[in-house]
Amino acid sequence: MINRYDRRDILKGVGAVCATGFLWPPDSVSAQQDLQVAGRHVELEIAPVSALTFRLTVFPMEGSQTQPVRGNGSLVQASWGPPLAKFGGSASERIIKSGELNVKLSLNPLKVIVETAKGGAVQQLTIDSETGAVSFSIGDSALLGLGEGGPQFDRRGSVDPMRSGQGGYHLGTHGGRVPIPWLISTAGWALYFHQPFGTFDFSGSQGKFIPKDPSNALPLDVFIVASNEPPVLMAEYARLTGHPEMPPLWAFGYQQSHRTLASHEEVLADAKTFREKKLPCDALIYLGTGFCPSGWNTENGSFSWNKRVFRDPKQAIDELHQEHFRVVLHSVILEDKLQGTVHDACNVVRFDKEQIGCAWDAHRKTFALGVDGWWPDEGDPLGIEARLARNRMYWEGPQLDRPDERPYALHRNGFAGMQRYASFLWSGDVYSTWETLKVHVPIAINTGLTGIPYWGTDIGGFVPTKEFTAELYLRWFQFGAFCTLFRCHGRAWKLRLPWGWNTGETGPTEISGYNGSALPDPSELHNPQVEPICRKYLELRYRMLPYLYSAVREAALTGMPVIRSLWLHYPNDPEAVKCGDEYLWGRDVLVAPVVEKGATSRRVYLPRGHWYDFWTNERFDGGREIERSVDLETLPLFVREGAILPFGPVKQYVNENVHGPLSITVYPGADGEFHFYEDDGVSFSYRKGDWMGLQLKWDDAQLTLTIHLAAGSRLRPPMPRSIEVKLGDSSKHVEFNGRPLQVRFA
C-alpha cells in the first residue's frame, strides 16, 4: 500500500505539478537514437496531469520527428502540461519527479518504476522491445473496472480480449461488452491505456497489456494514477475523460418498454392503465419494426411511422403527454462508420451517410413531433471514435432544436468519455436466468467504477427461458429499482408490465431462434402478488428520488458513481473490499439484491461501523456478515449510522405537483452530513445558478440537525420550504426560509 495523501494536496491539480521540479531536463534526449519498440525507433516522454497522475508516452520516430498520439475522443483535452522529461537513447537510469510521485526510467528492458516521494512502491511497468506489450505489477489485491461486462467481479485470473458489443463475452448471462481500458487496483493505483487498444492478461503473477498487432503497438500512451483514497482515483479518471453531464430528472423515474404493438388503442390503454392503477411511470419506450413484427416505424432504421399503430403520430404523442408520459423511440443508424459532429453541414448535394450531421438530420422531423428521447440500438461494429461520435450526437443533436432541454438517450455501445454526453447504458439482450441476475450485480459495480453512472438492464431478461417466473421477475425488478436506469423490456413483453403476471397473457411470443428460450408455465400467469410488490418498489423509487438525484449531482461534480463498490468508502475493511454481490447506493444505502431462487434468507456483509435495517430500523454492528431473512417482497437494504436521507412524497411521475413536506430521516449513532440537491430537472438553468443545495449536518452528541443553504444556491419554490425531520419514532416539522436553522431532539 502507498502512503496516504492530504486531500488538500490531492486537489492542487496541474498547477501544483508544473510548479514541482524535475531531476532530468525535458530536452535531455540522447543523440544516439537506439531505443526501439516493436521494430521502430522511439522516444519516451513523461508529462504531468496532476499531483497524483502522470502520462507515459512512447512515440514512434520518423527520422528525427516523433509521430503524435492520435486522439480517439475519450480524453477531455490533448495535454495537461509540457513534458517533464524525454528519453530517446541508451542513457543510464533516470529519476523524474512528477507531483507527489517519483518515476524511475531504465533500459534493457525498458522499465518504468513508480514510487511515492517517500519511496513507497506504487507500480512497475516493463515494455517489451519486440512486441510493445506492457507488463505491470498486480500484487494480490483486487483488479476492478474495465467497463461493462466481461469476467466478474475481480478481474484477476482472466484474459480479456476487450471485444466490444454483444459478441464480446457470454451475452446470455454477462450481457453486452463495453470494454474500457481503465484498470483499478484496490492497492491504490490505476492505469488508463489511451493508445493502443488490446488484450489484458491477468492469468499470471504479472499483468499484461498486449496490443492487438505489433504493427499497431505505437504510440503507447498510458496514464498512471496513484492514491490510497478511492474517491481520488475516480476523480482523476474524471479529470482525464470528463465528468458526467446531468440528464433530465424524468430519466430516473420508471421507464416501460413496449414491443409488437397491436394497435393505436393498445398504446393508449397501457398508458391509461398505469395512471388508473396508480403505478408510477415517467416514460414509455417503443421498439422499431424489424426488431419486432409491429413497432413504431415501418422498418429497421426508418423514420416513417407505422400508421397502423400510430395513425396520427403527433396526436398520439400529444395524448401521451397529456397523461404525463415521456415518449422514447428506438432508433438504428445502419452505417458501420460514423464521424464528425451534428454541427457539420449536411445537404442533398453533399449528403454523406457516415457523417453524424447527416444522421441527426434524419431524426429531426420525428423529433419535432414532440419525441422526448431516443434508444439507439445496434452499433457493435463501430470503432471507438464512431461509438463516441454517436453518443455525442444524441446529446448535442437534440439541443440544436431544444437548446435549454436536457436530452435523453439509452445506448448499447460506448467508450470512455461517454459520460460527458449523459449517456445511459443497458447491458443488452440477456437471458432470463438466475445466473444472469446474479452476475449483473458485479457488472453494475464495475460499470460504475469505469465512470459510467447511468446504467441498467432489461428487467426480467430480454430472452425468456424456463427460469422466467414471477419470482425471478420480482427479484430483478427490485434490483432495477436500485439501478440508475429503472426499465423493463423483453420478449413475451406483456410480462414486463407490472400487472402482466395476473392477466394470463404473455403477449406475442417472439422467442423462436433463441436457444433455450421458453415461455413461463401457464400457472405462473395468474399471480396476484406481483403488482402490489411492483407498486411498493415503484413508490419507494419515487420517494427516494431526492436522495438519488443528489447522488447524480455528486457524480457530475466528483466522478463518483451512484452504484458504488463498498471499497470506495471502506478501503481498510478487507471483507468490504472483496464484496461484489452487494453495493452502496450513493454514500449511505447498502443494497443486497436477492439472486437465489426460492431464497428465504440473504447473507449480507455490513462494513465496519453500525447499520440500520431500512425496513425494520433494527440496528446492527458492522464488520461482520449477518443472515437477513427475506420473503418475496423484501430486498435487504441497510443505512449506515450518521446518514441523513431525504425523501419526497409518492408521485405518479416526477413532475407531479404533490403537496407534502420534504422528509428528512436521520440515522443516529455518529455525526453525519448530506448535500441535498434540487433544480428544475429539465433545463440547463442550474449552470447559471438556478439550483438549490441544502447542507444538512447532524451533531450526534447534541442530537441536532443543522440546515443551511449551500453557497451559490438559492431557495426554490415552494418558499418557505416545509420540512419534516424524523429521528426514530420522533419527528419535528419546520419551515425553512433560507436562513440557517437548527432542529433539536435533545
Q: How confident is the model at residue 4 (pLDDT cuts 50, 70, 90)?
A: very low
Domains of the chain: 7-139+187-241 (2.60.40), 249-550 (3.20.20.80), 562-640 (2.60.40.1180), 659-744 (2.60.40.1180)
Identity at 426, one-letter amino acid code: W
First to last CA, the chain: 43
Say if strands 121-127 and 110-116 run parallel, antiparallel, or are unpaired. antiparallel
Residue 317 has pLDDT above 80, yes or no: yes
**pTM across the whole model:** 0.94
Residue 25, CA atoms < 13 Å, CB-side half-sphere: 4
Q: Can you spell out the DSSP letters for 454-480?
A: SEE--BT-SB-BTT--HHHHHHHHHHH
DSSP bridge partners of 613 = 638
Cα–Cα distances in Å, from 319 out to 174, 316, 327? Answer: 38, 5, 11
Q: How far is CA 585 from the centre of its chain?
A: 12
Identity at 148, one-letter amino acid code: E
Secondary element (H or E) of residue 92: none
Query: What's the whole-number mean pLDDT along residues 598-622?
Result: 98
Residue 14 has pLDDT above 50, yes or no: no
355 by DSSP, 3-state: which?
strand
Cis peptide before 219 (omega within 30 of 0): yes
Cα–Cα distances in Å, from 579 out to 123, 567, 639, 676, 710? Answer: 24, 8, 17, 28, 34
Nine-digit cell string for 329: 423511440
Nine-digit cell string for 351: 449528403
Secondary element (H or E) of residue 430: none
559 by DSSP, 3-state: which?
coil
pLDDT on residue 6: 40
pLDDT on residue 348: 57
Q: Which residues contact 114 (CB under 8 A, 6 or more apart)?
A: 101, 102, 103, 104, 121, 122, 123, 124, 125, 189, 224, 226
Question: In this predicted model, what pLDDT tens digit does every residue of 86-144 receive, in sequence order?
Answer: 987 655 688 999 999 999 998 878 999 999 989 999 999 999 999 999 999 999 999 99
| 428 within 8 A of 462, measured Cβ to Cβ | yes
412 phi, psi to nearest 5 deg: -105, -15
Residue 271 has pLDDT above 70, yes or no: yes
| 567 within 8 A of 184, measured Cβ to Cβ | no
Three-state SS letters, 686-723: HHHCCCEEEEEEEECCCCEEEEEECCCCCCCCCCCEEE
Q: For residues 553 and 151, give the distance between their C-alpha atoms in angstroms, rounded to a whole number.
A: 30
Closest C-alpha to 236, from 111, 416, 114, 414: 416
Closest C-alpha to 255, from 548, 541, 637, 682: 541
Residue 21 has pLDDT above 70, yes or no: no
Q: Which of 17-21, 47-51, 267-271 has the weakest average pLDDT?
A: 17-21
Q: For residues 746 and 743, give the distance between their C-alpha atoms in angstroms, rounded to a whole number.
A: 9
130 by DSSP, 3-state: which?
coil
147 by DSSP, 3-state: which?
strand
Question: In this predicted model, what pLDDT tens digit does every residue of 329-371 receive, in sequence order?
Answer: 999 998 889 999 999 877 656 678 889 999 999 999 999 999 9
